[in-house]
């Protein structure tokens, strides 16, 4: 199964979310391939503790050019996760045919392939959208995210119509304390999104320092953490992984959710 993260707005947590989902799936014992198509290469830095230029022959540009991931994949520092590192050479192949990526993905060797894309819309992003079984767009609740989501929807309908039903939106930088106030900016923009889009998941990624700690210091997130933000982050990605894997969330005798991964 191929999962693409795509957003035209940078800074919404797209790469971090892709990493958290990949690691949650890996913690469940699934074999995951992370395909880093974002030239910011933050995911490559996280998984390999090195920049994209340190992989001159093993990277996404070489894989796309040769139409195979064989020989261009690196074992990451996270168990069960391999990565095809990012490369600045992606700029040189932006005119590549949008069918190229799907033809070279080793779906027979991995349970899940996670694709992180650049915050733009071009042939490279179209490759990732065309190859996907799920397309996730994280949105921060503001006008620019609303505009870019409309743009992406328009291009999916016009250019990749068969992928529209695979596209889902979810909210990031969610502040639970504002959710109860109908006049908060967050609630007002949530209403605007929900009036216009019918593909919004009931999953909110919290605004929390736990996210930065996860990617910068390797501090795990846990449903049993003393930090509320860490708890909410773990719950959100367990729910997202459950959606993908078709796992029904169980509840204990007190009605509390039981998750497959309590800490990852």
* pLDDT single digits (tens) 164-215: 999 999 999 999 999 899 999 999 999 999 999 999 999 999 999 999 999 9
In angstroms, rounded to a whole number, what is the distance separating the alpha carbons of residues 113 and 34? 6
Closest CA to 116 of 243, 12, 240: 12
Give the per-residue pLDDT at 254: 77
Closest CA to 130 of 162, 96, 174: 162
Is residue 215 exposed (0-12), middle (13-18) or buried (19+ Cβ within 10 Å)?
middle
Whole-angstrom CA distances from 129 to 13, 121, 161 are: 18, 10, 11
Give the per-residue pLDDT at 50: 63
Closest CA to 261 of 136, 242, 213: 242
pLDDT in tens, 211-228: 999 999 999 999 999 999
Q: Find the Cα–Cα–Cα–Cα dihedral 208, 232, 1, 54, rounded to 10°.
A: 30
Is residue 6 exposed (0-12), middle (13-18) or buried (19+ Cβ within 10 Å)?
buried
In angstroms, rounded to a whole number, what is the distance separating the alpha carbons of residues 103 and 110? 15
Whole-angstrom CA distances from 41 to 44, 53, 232 are: 5, 10, 26
Pairing of strands 81-84, 74-75: antiparallel
Collect the ranges in the chain with pLDDT lower than 70: 50-54
What does pTM read for this prediction?
0.95
CATH of region 2-258, choose from 3.40.50.1110, 3.60.15.10, 3.40.50.300, 2.60.40.10: 3.40.50.300
Give the per-residue pLDDT at 257: 81
Give the per-residue pLDDT at 1: 97
> How many Å separate Cα 209 from the centre of its chain?
19
Whole-angstrom CA distances from 172 to 75, 106, 246 are: 29, 30, 23
């Amino acid at each position: 199964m191929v999962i693409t993260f795509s957003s035209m707005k940078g800074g919404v947590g797209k790469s971090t979310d892709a990493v958290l989902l990949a690691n949650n799936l890996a913690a469940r014992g699934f074999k995951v391939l992370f395909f880093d198509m974002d030239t910011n290469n933050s995911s490559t830095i996280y998984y390999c503790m090195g920049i994209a230029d340190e992989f001159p022959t093993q990277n996404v540009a070489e894989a796309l050019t040769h139409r195979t991931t064989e020989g261009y994949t690196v074992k990451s520092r996270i168990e069960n996760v391999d990565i095809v590192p990012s490369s600045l050479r992606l700029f040189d192949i932006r005119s590549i045919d949008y069918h190229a990526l799907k033809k070279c993905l080793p779906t027979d060797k991995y349970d899940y392939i996670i694709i992180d894309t650049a915050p733009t819309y071009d042939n490279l992003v179209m490759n990732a959208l065309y190859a996907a079984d799920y397309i996730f767009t994280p949105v921060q609740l503001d006008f620019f995210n609303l505009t870019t989501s409309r743009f992406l929807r328009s291009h999916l309908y016009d250019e990749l119509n068969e992928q529209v039903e695979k596209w889902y939106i979810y909210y990031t930088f969610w502040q639970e304390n504002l959710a109860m106030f109908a006049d908060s900016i967050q609630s007002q923009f949530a209403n605007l999104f929900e009036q216009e889009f019918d593909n919004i998941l009931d999953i909110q990624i919290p605004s929390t320092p736990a996210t930065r700690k996860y990617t910068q210091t390797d501090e795990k997130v846990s449903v049993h953490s003393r930090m509320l933000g860490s708890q909410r982050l773990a719950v959100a990605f367990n729910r997202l992984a459950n959606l993908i894997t078709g796992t029904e969330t169980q509840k204990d005798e007190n009605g509390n959710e039981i998750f497959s991964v309590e800490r990852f």
